Amino acid sequence: MTTQTDLLLPAPPSRTKQNVAALGVGALILAAIATLDVDWAKLFDLPRASWEYGVLMFADPTWEKLPRALFETWRSISMAWLGAILCVVASIPLGMLAAHGVGPAWLRQGLRGIFAVIRAVPEVIIALILLTVTGLTPFTGALALGIAGIGTQGKWVYETIESLRSDATEAVRAAGGGRLAVLRWALWPAALPSLMSFALYRFEINIRTSAVLGLVGAGGIGSMLSNYTNYREWGTVGMLLIVVIAATMLIDAISGALRRRIMEGAKPRGLDRIR
């Protein structure tokens, strides 16, 4: 017996399109894998080879070159810090102009297009282009990091501005303030903690990328790693990797603590004694 409730139930939704799309993506992935020129025997031998080279590098690291490694690590950190400063100084005003309600539409779309183009170009390619002008110096690496970071940092800036609540903006406009007043008294104070946190995160990214830029001649610990790897001096390579990992983890810990302090603020003191 068919009831009125049964007649009112909607038909189950069709999942034909989703299933066809999933099958198409799966077939595309399988086709891409099948066309790769991969020696699967070497791929399966990767764990054994990794263990062998790990023993060569870390069983007896060469610590005689540690002072130079620390100096080159400091150069890499300086390169990353200078690149972060260049990136932040350029990306904050440009990113604000790219946000809705701040810059005009033609400027906003143009800046967003520039950010997208910069994000599409890896830091190594930018460094190789700059090498023809600035030469093999750490400043080349810093400049490459600064330019490459503008794309991502600018996107973070305008997305942060657009995600802010409109209460302060409306209050400034109601008081007769124009765009500059809204930007100075409403948007900038609210966005500053997030922008400072993003700036520190950019520095963390630059620390890792600076080692890669050293492989193309930008200086720092990456150049030292490249040279000793080419000469197969695995003991020295192991020591350099230990230094890089330790320095990166230390900077990440300090930067993470600073970012948490910026976003969460200082914890009030004396509450435990009051309780």
Q: Walk along the chain (275 residues) and give the pLDDT tens digit of each residue.
A: 555 555 566 667 777 888 888 888 889 888 887 787 777 777 777 788 888 888 888 888 889 989 999 998 898 888 889 999 999 999 999 998 898 878 888 999 999 999 999 999 888 888 888 888 777 777 888 888 999 899 999 999 999 888 887 777 777 777 777 777 777 777 788 788 888 888 888 888 888 888 888 777 677 888 888 888 888 888 888 899 999 889 888 988 888 888 888 777 666 665 555 55
- The Cα–Cα gap between 197 and 119 comes to 20
pLDDT, tens only, 44-89: 777 888 888 888 888 888 899 899 999 988 988 888 899 999 999 9
CA dihedral (106, 96, 210, 203) in degrees, to 10, reads: -170
Domain boundaries 57-264, corresponding CATH code: 1.10.3720.10
Cα angle value 228/223/212 (rounded, 5°)? 115
What CA–CA distances, in Å, run from 194 to 92, 160, 161? 12, 7, 10
What global pTM score does this model have?
0.75
| Contact present, 199 and 88 (Cβ < 8 Å) | yes
Q: Calculate the alpha carbon distances from 49 to 12, 55, 203, 232, 240 in Å.
A: 53, 10, 34, 15, 20
Phi, psi of 10 (to 5 degrees): -75, 155
CA–CA separation, 151 and 161 (whole Å) = 16
Contacting residues for 62 by C-beta, under 8 A, at least 6 apart? 233, 235, 236, 238, 239
Rounded Cα distance between 80 and 222, Å, is 12
| Three-state secondary-structure class, residue 29 | helix
Find the length of the chain: 275
DSSP string computed for 218-266: --SHHHHHHHHHHTT-HHHHHHHHHHHHHHHHHHHHHHHHHHHHHHH-P
Question: What number of other Cβ atoms are within 10 A of residue 42's Cβ?
Answer: 9
What would the pLDDT profile of 84-123 be if each residue is shown by its tens digit?
Answer: 999 999 999 999 889 887 888 899 999 999 999 999 988 8
3-state secondary structure of 136: coil
* 136 close to 126: Cβ distance less than 8 angstroms: no
C-alpha–C-alpha distance, residues 258 and 275, integer Å = 28
| C-alpha separations of 120 from 113, 125, 137 in Å | 11, 10, 24
Surface-to-core class of residue 146, CB atoms within 10 Å of its CB (0-12 exposed, 13-18 middle, 19+ buried): buried
228 close to 247: Cβ distance less than 8 angstroms: no
